Amino acid sequence: MKKKNSLILDLDDSEMNLFSKQYLNLADIHEEIEKLFDEGDNIDKRKRKVYNEWKEKINFLIDMYNAKAKFKSYERIK
């Protein structure tokens, strides 16, 4: 019997939408980044898991934005 390799992700539907959505222009990406920055102001950074998930999402979008933009860039969250 063959054993299938599988990948188990601990993401909910809203997180999957973020990573699977096709962003066609910089304005869409910029809007999502700004929403996440606003959300980040309310995150309790002592809750490591929540903060790390937020950081992963925003850095994903920042990398995408910086790759497409020729005039302005964001710094990754450390």
CA atoms of 61 and 76, how far apart (whole Å): 10
Give the pTM.
0.68
pLDDT band at 13 (very low <50, low <70, confident <90, very high): low
Kindly report the backbone phi and psi dihedral angles of residue 54, in degrees, each rounded to the nearest multiple of 5, phi listed first. Answer: -60, -45
Across residues 37-43, what is the average pLDDT? 90
Inter-axis angle of helices 13-20 and 48-68, to 10 degrees?
20
15 vs 22: CA distance, rounded Å? 14
Whether residue 5 is predicted with pLDDT greater than 90 in this model: the reply is no
Alpha-carbon span 11 to 15, nearest angstrom: 6
